[in-house]
Structure 1
Amino acid sequence: MNKLATVLLTTPIVIAAPYAAAAQAQLHPAQIQLQQNIESVLKIARNDNLSDQQKIRQIEHYADNYLDYQRIAALAVGLPWRQFSPKQKTDFIAAFKEMMIAMYSRSALLGASTTKVKLLPKLVDNGRNRIDVFTEVQTKNGNRYEVSYQLYKTGSAYKLYNIRVDGVSMVTVYRNQFNDLIKQKGIDGTISTVRAKGLKKADAIKD
């Protein structure tokens, strides 16, 4: 199974060893939040009293607090985003979110018990309220990948706007598809294609 954007949904689902209180005190607030996200959603993913659909919806509801779908969608489209009307932007964001959940949530749940993640001490402050937090993801076959989560602070929380897996950017992979679609089908045709879940997965990690 290949996955890049899967990390978007599995970030809080993968198994991670909890940090001791002393170690947590030395972490950046963005790292602490990511660790808390991992533990919170892992609890949902491992709840045997919930159906897969119930788990997906609870995870989605939780993730809504920490994922900036509007910024992810705008970055994934790129320059053509300026040509979208307000209604087209709203429709595209909703369709893009539903497409990603449909594409990756099932494999995310399946990977919850086999994928491992380790929070790395590496941290990059990009300025302009942007920060990268890094983890190492290990798949069930033992392959290891460095995953960076690009975040910005709003209020007391850090929101995710992109993911890079071994340097491969999720929004860049999707941008290539969207640029082709917009040229071929226009904006409304692109929204319809996304609504119909007609895009390919953004693949970068192999189990």
Structure 2
Amino acid sequence: MYRMLIAAFAALATTAALAQEAPDALVKKGVDDVLSAIKNDKDLQSGNLDKVMKLADEKVLPNFDMARMTRLAVGRPWAQATDAQKEALTKEFKTLIIRTYSSSLSQYRNQVVEVKPLKVAAGDTDVVVRTEVKQQGGPPIPLDYSMEKTAAGWKVYDVVVDGVSLVTTYRGSFGDIIQKSGIDGLVKTLQDRNSKGAPAPAAPKK
């Protein structure tokens, strides 16, 4: 599943000026721009950390609602966390996502992403943008984005790859860690793994 996340993150890269566009148009623009950039940059293809971090911070993560995404990944224990713990969790989860993105970049192999047209009613504030990742030698893989309309435009709060939710998968492993060592234990686990560049806990698999 790691190899599919490059398409997921690439689809969310766009400029701030596009934030008010329809969610499917935003995804389509991101697909075209970022996959083109990757195809023409061997450093990005190889997962150059400096370039990946820059790309993620400037083009990708601004289109994620990281606070909501982290809250959903932590689940019920989020309500008992202090403000300082919530801030630390969000910071470390963001780093975790960037490292996942880096790992995915190195596995990009000219996949094609088809964005399905979406009808958005005037009052809609929560939608799912559906896409398919087409790859040689295998069936297309569905990749969906749960998106919410905010004051800053449409933001992603979950990614579902081939039926597997990113936040739900992390919620399972995060819950085990919290049960054993509390919120501070989860923060420390994420800090340790991020600082070592180790694989993320319970990385999504299919």
TM-score bucket of the superposed structures, by smaller chain: 0.7 to 0.9
Other-structure match for 1:80:
77
Which stretch shifts more, 4-13 or 32-41?
A: 4-13
How many angstroms does 1:7 deviate by? Answer: 4.9
- For 1:124 and 1:145, locate their aligned partners in 2 and report how far apart those are by CA, in whole Å: 23
- For 1:187 and 1:156, locate their aligned partners in 2 and report how far apart those are by CA, in whole Å: 30
| Residues 190 and 7 of structure 1, relative CA distance in 2, 3 Å threshold | farther
Structure showing greater relative contact order (alpha-carbon pairs closer than 8 Å, 6 or more residues apart):
1
How many angstroms does 1:122 deviate by? Answer: 5.2
Partner amino acid, structure 2, of 1:92:
L
> Deviations along 1:107-135, whole A, 9 cap, x unmatched?
22431x4222111135587x761011100
- For 1:156 and 1:98, locate their aligned partners in 2 and report how far apart those are by CA, in whole Å: 22
Secondary structure at the aligned position of 1:45 is classed as: helix
The structure 2 residue matched to 1:157, chosen from 153, 163, 182, is 153
The structure 1 residue matched to 2:66, chosen from 64, 69, 89, is 69
Other-structure match for 1:11:
11
CA contact (8 A) 2:112 2:134 kept: yes
> C-alpha root-mean-square deviation of aligned residues, in Å?
2.6
- For 1:70 and 1:189, locate their aligned partners in 2 and report how far apart those are by CA, in whole Å: 19
Larger strand percent: 1
Q: How many pairs does the alignment contain?
A: 188
Other-structure match for 1:16:
none
The structure 1 residue matched to 2:192, chosen from 190, 196, 204, is 196
How many angstroms does 1:148 deviate by? Answer: 1.2
- For 1:108 and 1:124, locate their aligned partners in 2 and report how far apart those are by CA, in whole Å: 31
Secondary structure at the aligned position of 1:164 is classed as: strand
Secondary structure at the aligned position of 2:168 is classed as: helix
The gaps in structure 2 that reach 5 residues or longer are 14-20, 194-199
CA contact (8 A) 1:45 1:55 kept: no
CA contact (8 A) 2:92 2:191 kept: yes
| Residues 43 and 4 of structure 1, relative CA distance in 2, 3 Å threshold | closer
CA contact (8 A) 2:5 2:104 kept: no
2:98 is aligned with 1:101: yes
Partner amino acid, structure 2, of 1:87:
A
2:144 is aligned with 1:148: yes
CA contact (8 A) 2:132 2:140 kept: yes
Partner amino acid, structure 1, of 2:30:
N
The structure 2 residue matched to 1:45, chosen from 38, 42, 45, is 38
- For 1:122 and 1:166, locate their aligned partners in 2 and report how far apart those are by CA, in whole Å: 19
| Residues 123 and 168 of structure 1, relative CA distance in 2, 3 Å threshold | farther
- For 1:57 and 1:2, locate their aligned partners in 2 and report how far apart those are by CA, in whole Å: 17
Percent identity over paired residues: 29
Larger helix percent: 2
